[in-house]
């Protein structure tokens, strides 16, 4: 039988296929190959390629890596970080996915020696990478440089980048900037109109997305950088979460919240050109696929998204049952745990699916 995301053809014959185009041009996820990740730092190249391909099947068109920052050693890595950084580009090129990197400066940019070392490090990577489409420099988290130093540095990065990847973009977030720094950035973009600059990224501790779009010159793009991996002390904390969950599960548990995150996406997406999410592992996979599908068509009902997800990962026999079980998990987190009668029923539902489909 031939199975697609939302239908099955028992005879293997396709009579008619509907086609559509994505609503938003940027639809991707940050998959930083580093020790801080909770899963993929232990993956083989084959596992990584499968993950990229499956995200593409659900509408993603870009991947963001963290090639330099966070140099803690991970004993789980199957490949040295430098090799995997380049392999990301090869996989993205194979499936025609845009390859982005997230690259901060964690030192004062007026320290000329360190500044030049970082530029040299970028050039080595740019030269070796078979494909690169975007460089995202976070203004903060981490980093604490004023925009008067950041913009000249990014201009130098752009000059090097375009030697090897002429169409790649330079992006900046104003995370942690105070009002004076934010106003300086917008004034600089209005007056200088730099051709080497592509757009602004809005992440945690950034100015509000609607305000950013209103102040940003129209020629520049705006990207959402939503944190979909954390539940507390984060950009979009879980609402009405019982402290019992908070104290036992912590900040980074398995956190399927499809209804909540489809709402967040659709609330802010109209101001943007799309999104690349922040993720630290597979705990937020349901959220990733919901964001990808919403970026393609924000009007797709959440349950329909989850039916596609369950059909693909659990099999056609569990398409609807799996979707409803995921929705039930999200409802488990709503409000006072002692008064939430759905928790035990949700557990029994998942047990039954496991027993019936081992």
Write the pLDDT tens digit of every residue in 99-152.
999 999 999 999 999 999 999 999 999 999 999 999 999 999 999 999 999 999
User: Which pLDDT band, with edges at 50, 70 and 90, does 1 fall under?
Assistant: very low
Give a yes or no: residue 320 inside a domain.
no
Q: Inform me whether the pLDDT recorded for 12 exceeds 70.
A: no
Q: Inform me whether the pLDDT recorded for 55 exceeds 90.
A: yes
User: What tokens does 296 get?
Assistant: 């393609």
Integer angstrom CA distances of residue 241 from 160, 247, 251, 284, 336: 47, 10, 12, 17, 8
Give a yes or no: residue 126 inside a domain.
yes
In angstroms, the CA 354 to CA 59 distance is 28
Residue at token pair 């099999």: 315
User: For a pLDDT cut of 70, what percent of the chain falls above it?
Assistant: 95
Give a yes or no: residue 83 inside a domain.
yes
User: What is the reported pLDDT for 19?
Assistant: 86
Give a yes or no: residue 261 inside a domain.
yes
pLDDT tens for 138-166 read 999 999 999 999 999 999 999 999 999 99
Give a yes or no: residue 305 inside a domain.
no
Which residues span the domain enclosing 256?
Answer: 24-299
User: What tokens does 248 get?
Assistant: 């036992």
In angstroms, the CA 79 to CA 51 distance is 16
| Total number of domains in the chain | 1
Contact 190, 218 (CB under 8 A): no
User: What is the reported pLDDT for 69?
Assistant: 86
pLDDT tens for 249-292 read 999 999 999 999 999 999 999 999 999 999 999 999 999 999 99
pTM of the prediction? 0.95
Give a yes or no: residue 292 inside a domain.
yes
User: Which pLDDT band, with edges at 50, 70 and 90, does 350 fall under?
Assistant: very high
Give a yes or no: residue 336 inside a domain.
no
User: For a pLDDT cut of 90, what percent of the chain falls above it?
Assistant: 93
CATH number reported for the structural domain that contains residue 185 in this entry: 3.20.20.80
Give a yes or no: residue 6 inside a domain.
no
Going by C-alpha positions, the residue among 301, 273, 226, 317 that lies closest to residue 22 is 273
User: In residues, how long is the chain?
Assistant: 358
Question: Which phi and psi angles does 111 have, rounded to 5°?
Answer: -85, 100
């Amino acid at each position: 039988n031939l199975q697609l995301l939302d239908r099955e053809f028992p005879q293997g014959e396709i009579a008619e296929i509907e086609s559509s185009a994505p609503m938003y041009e940027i639809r991707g996820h940050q998959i930083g190959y580093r020790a801080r990740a909770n899963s993929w730092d232990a993956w083989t190249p084959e596992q990584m390629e499968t993950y990229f391909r499956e995200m593409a099947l659900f509408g993603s068109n870009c991947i963001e890596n963290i090639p330099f920052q966070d140099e803690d050693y991970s004993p789980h890595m199957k490949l040295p970080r430098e090799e995997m950084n380049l392999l990301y580009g090869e996989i993205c090129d194979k499936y025609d996915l845009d390859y982005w990197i997230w690259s901060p400066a964690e030192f004062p940019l007026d320290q000329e020696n360190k500044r030049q070392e970082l530029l040299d490090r970028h050039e080595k990577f740019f030269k070796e990478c078979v494909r690169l489409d975007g460089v995202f420099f976070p203004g903060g988290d981490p980093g604490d440089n004023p925009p008067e130093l950041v913009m000249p540095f990014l201009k130098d990065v752009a000059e090097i980048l375009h030697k090897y990847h002429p169409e790649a973009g330079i992006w900046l977030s104003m995370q942690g900037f105070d009002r004076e720094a934010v106003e300086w950035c917008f004034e600089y973009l209005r007056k200088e109109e730099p051709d080497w600059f592509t757009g602004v990224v809005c992440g945690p501790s950034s100015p509000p997305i609607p305000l950013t779009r209103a102040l940003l010159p129209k020629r520049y793009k705006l990207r959402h950088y939503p944190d979909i991996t954390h539940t507390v002390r984060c950009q979009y904390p879980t609402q009405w979460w019982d402290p019992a969950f908070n104290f036992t599960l912590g900040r980074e548990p398995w956190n399927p919240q499809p209804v909540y995150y489809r709402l967040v996406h659709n609330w802010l997406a109209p101001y943007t050109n799309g999104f690349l999410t922040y993720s630290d592992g597979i705990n937020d996979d349901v959220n990733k696929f919901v964001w990808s599908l919403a970026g393609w068509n924000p009007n797709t009902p959440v349950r329909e998204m989850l039916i596609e997800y369950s059909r693909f990962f659990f099999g056609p026999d569990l398409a609807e049952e799996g979707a409803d079980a995921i929705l039930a998990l999200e409802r488990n987190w709503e409000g006072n745990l002692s008064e939430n009668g759905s928790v035990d029923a949700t557990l029994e539902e998942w047990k039954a699916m496991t027993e019936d489909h081992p």
